[in-house]
Structure formats: C-alpha cells, structure tokens
Amino acid sequence: MTEGLKYFIILFNESVLIYFLIIAAIYIFLNILALFRITSYKKSFEHIDFEKIFRIGNHIPVSLIIPAFNESTGIVQSIKSLLSLQYPEYQLIVINDGSTDNTLDLIVENFGFKKVFSIPYYFIKCKKINGVYLSSKYPNMVLIDKENGGKADAQNAGINIAKHPLITIIDADSILERDCLLKITRPFLQDKNVVAVGGTIRIANGCTVNKGFIEKIGLSKSWFARLQVVEYLRAFLFGRTGWDVINGTTIISGAFGCFKRKALIKVGGYKAGSLGEDMELVLKMHKQLRKEDPKTRIRFISDPVCWTETPETYKVLKSQRERWQKGTVENVLRYKGMFFNFRYGVMGLFAFPYYVLFETIGPIVEFAGYIVFIISIILNIVVFKFVIAFLSAAILYGTILSTMSVILEELSFRKYPRVKELLILVFTGFIENLGYRQLNTYWRVKAMIAYIFGKKAWGEMEKKGFGS
C-alpha cells in the first residue's frame, strides 16, 4: 500500500470520527433543550382542567380527516375511538381512497351512511369524488368515496370538504388518546402565529386495545417493534421537542398533525405523489408562509399522544425505512434553496442543513465509515486507541442517547410504569446500536441509490390491526 493511500484512509477515518462526534453533540444539545421544555410543559399542565376550559366555549372547532385505503382490519375500531374523543365540537371526515377490499362497505354498514348528492368545491386539486355520504347515526360524520390517488390526494379531498377552521390529519391505523384534541389545539389559542402543530407518535404493538382506546400499555414480543419504541422515544419525545424550542420543526408526522385550514389551502395542500408528503408540507409552509409573515410558527408538543401500528417483520420494516429515506432525499432536493439561507431563520441556518448533512448524506458517510474502518483494522493501519475512540463515537454515544431517552420518558410521562418494561427498553437501547442501527443505515443507502436510478415506488405496509 502506498503512503498516499494510507494517509487518505487515516484522514477519512478521522473525518468520520469527527462527524460522529458532531452528531452526538447535536443530539445531546437537543436532549437538554427537550428536558427543560418537557419539564416546563408538565408544570404548566399539572393544574389545568382541560374539559372545564373548553366547556365554557374557549375552543376552536376541528375537522378530523382520516384517509383510508384497504384498512378493513381496523377501520371500524379506529372510527369508534374517534367518536369518543373529548372535544366540544369536531367533525369526522373519512376518505375511502379507492379501496379494493371491503373498507367502504364496512364503514357504510357500521355507521349508517347514506349517499347524498352534494359534491364539494375543489379548493385544492384532487382525484374525482364519486360520492359523499352522511351518517344517520352520527351527525358529525362524513364519508367521501373517491378514485384512488394516494394518501396526499385523499387528505386534500378531506380538506376540501372540511367545515371547521382547524384540521387534524390522522392515519386510519392510529389510536388517539381521549384528550388529544384538547391538547393539540391549545397552541393555536395561545399564539395566533401558529399555523401547524405536531404531536407525539408512540408504538401500539403489544398494547391492549379496548373499544378503540389503549387500555393497557405494553411491549410487543417482536424485537423489531421494541427497537422502534426506543427509536420513536428518541426521535419524537426528545429530538422533535428539542427542535421546537428553537422554532426548527421540519416535519409533522402524517400519522397525527393539526393545521389551520386557511394555511393548508394557501399553500395548495399536500403534494400528491410525493414520497414524503408530511415533510414536504411543513417545508412548503416554512418557505411560503414565513415569507409573508416571519412570525409564522410551526410547533411540536410532546403530549398529546397518537398510538400507531408499526412493522414487525424484516421485509415490511425494510420497505418502510427505504421509502422514508427516499422521501427525505426528494424533499431536500426540492427545497435545496433553503440550505443555509438566513431568510428562513433557524430553519434555513440550522434545521434544514441538519437534515441535509446528517439525515440525507449521513447514511452514506456512516456506511462508508464502517467499511473503511474494517479495512483499516484488517490492514493494521489504525492504532488501538483510535479503534476505541471510533467505536465509542459510532456505537457508545447511540447507546447512551437511547438509554437517556428511556430514562427521560420515565421521569416525564411514565407511559411504561412497570420496571420489567423499562429494563427491556434500556436493554433494547443498548442492542439497538449493535446491528439494528447499522442495518438501518444499509437500507437507507440502498434507498438513496434506488432513488438516484429512478426507483421511487412506495411499496406496501402490512396491516394486522389492533385486535381487542
């Protein structure tokens, strides 16, 4: 081996080590911010009687939009739970997006829907609406049957027909806690500049569901599901909370978010055909609405909670992660003009560059780093001290952050009160970085290569339903 090549390999290893340390520093900083925000949030809510406040008329009416495509396994239970939410005034809009199973029949039969002939005005372009149905049992329910156009297109159809000033978008396979609407609408009452609010997503696999609500919180026996519990804790409860502190919210999960209807119409709704329509919408709002009014705020709050089903098999999880990465790449390229652009404030100078440098390019750097590092050990290029430093930066910091997330969850919301479950989650946070994280990196690199060569298909998500 030439001295030049040896020098390049050493330099590359050192660069990757610095890269890992920067990521660790960012996450630690976000965790600290999140800890203070969550502590403050909990104190402010300790003595609030939400029901009393909203009962006296201090509320904003909400339209809930639920896009459904082949959701026969759990759609009835999901709708029943949404009809029992604690909120003074809300409309429930279910969109059947051209399902090929019996989703439409199940909804019509269980909730007494009758077809009417009023076709909504198309504020936002969407696929043809075949029919609008009203429920004879529930006056606040509407059903839209339309041609298949994808999730974003279905959501746009719901926005068109919604009658209330706030719109909450949720997935058909999701379960909201009863007080979710009371909590997620509060930022709109507190600050007129808020145009969107995201809530926390948690894993329902392993939980006991009764009449459409989480009756008992538990962990799935699947290690894939358990690993995702830790991932979601780290990403939602502390990662996104940290970004919210500095007004850097980049994404509101498509499974649960609340928006001003006027703002959605102004930006043209969701982009049909987008691989990551939830992130695309938020970036579009930052770009267009902040241009008109720099005070515009897009928030994330750590409690309310939406529980959702997550993949438990290798094949389905791989498909999900690959399409998530494709969506990230697509949106970063579409909004590349925001990169280090001071006109977008924290979003342009910090949040968006973070997504470019660490969420988009990161998998390539990490994957290449592992390969070159292994080659360096085989060829005896690196010294023992560097091996320890590299492994500490690449693996130990991830383990510490995962463990911190579990501990902070216990100190804050205590959704997993049993000691056995906490110990399992701590152990999961440890083993996550010994194979699973590297597997995720591999999937994301594959997804980026596939995207570059034009393979942009979404793939399918297998739905088992929540049972009873």
Q: CA 174, CA 2: separation in Å to the nearest integer?
A: 57
pLDDT at residue 111 in the model: 93
pLDDT at residue 468 in the model: 46
Q: CA 54, CA 186: separation in Å to the nearest integer?
A: 10
Q: Which domains does the chain have, with CATH numbers?
A: 62-314 (3.90.550.10)
Tokens 């029992």 belong to residue: 84
pLDDT at residue 396 in the model: 80
Tokens 């949040």 belong to residue: 351
Say if residues 224 and 319 touch (Cβ distance below 8 Å).
Answer: no
pLDDT at residue 251 in the model: 94
pLDDT at residue 440 in the model: 95
pLDDT at residue 52 in the model: 65
Single-letter code of the amino acid located at 246: I
* Beta bridge mates, 116: 132
DSSP per-residue string spanning 41-103: HHHHHTT--HHHHHHTT----EEEEEEESS-TTTHHHHHHHHTT---SSEEEEEEEES-SSSH
Q: CA 390, CA 182: separation in Å to the nearest integer?
A: 46
Q: Is 248 in a helix, a strand, or coil?
A: coil
Q: CA 275, CA 253: separation in Å to the nearest integer?
A: 13
Q: Closest by alpha carbon to 202, among 223, 183, 185, 220?
A: 220
pLDDT at residue 95 in the model: 96
Please give the backbone phi and psi of residue 22, each rounded to the nearest 5 degrees, phi first: -65, -45
Query: What is the pLDDT tens value at each position of the chain, 468 positions in all?
Result: 687 888 888 889 889 889 988 988 898 898 889 888 888 887 777 666 666 665 656 789 999 999 999 988 888 888 988 998 989 899 999 999 999 999 999 999 999 999 886 666 778 989 989 889 999 999 999 999 999 999 999 999 999 999 999 999 998 888 899 889 999 999 999 999 999 999 999 999 999 888 778 888 999 999 999 999 999 988 888 889 999 999 999 999 988 999 999 999 999 999 988 889 999 999 999 999 988 888 999 999 988 889 988 999 999 999 999 999 999 999 999 999 999 998 888 999 999 999 999 999 999 999 999 999 888 888 888 877 888 888 888 788 788 888 888 887 877 787 887 888 888 998 998 889 889 999 999 999 999 999 988 876 655 556 565 554
Q: CA 309, CA 232: separation in Å to the nearest integer?
A: 12
pTM confidence score: 0.90
Three-state SS string across 149-168, please? CCHHHHHHHHHHHCCCCEEE
DSSP state of 343: G
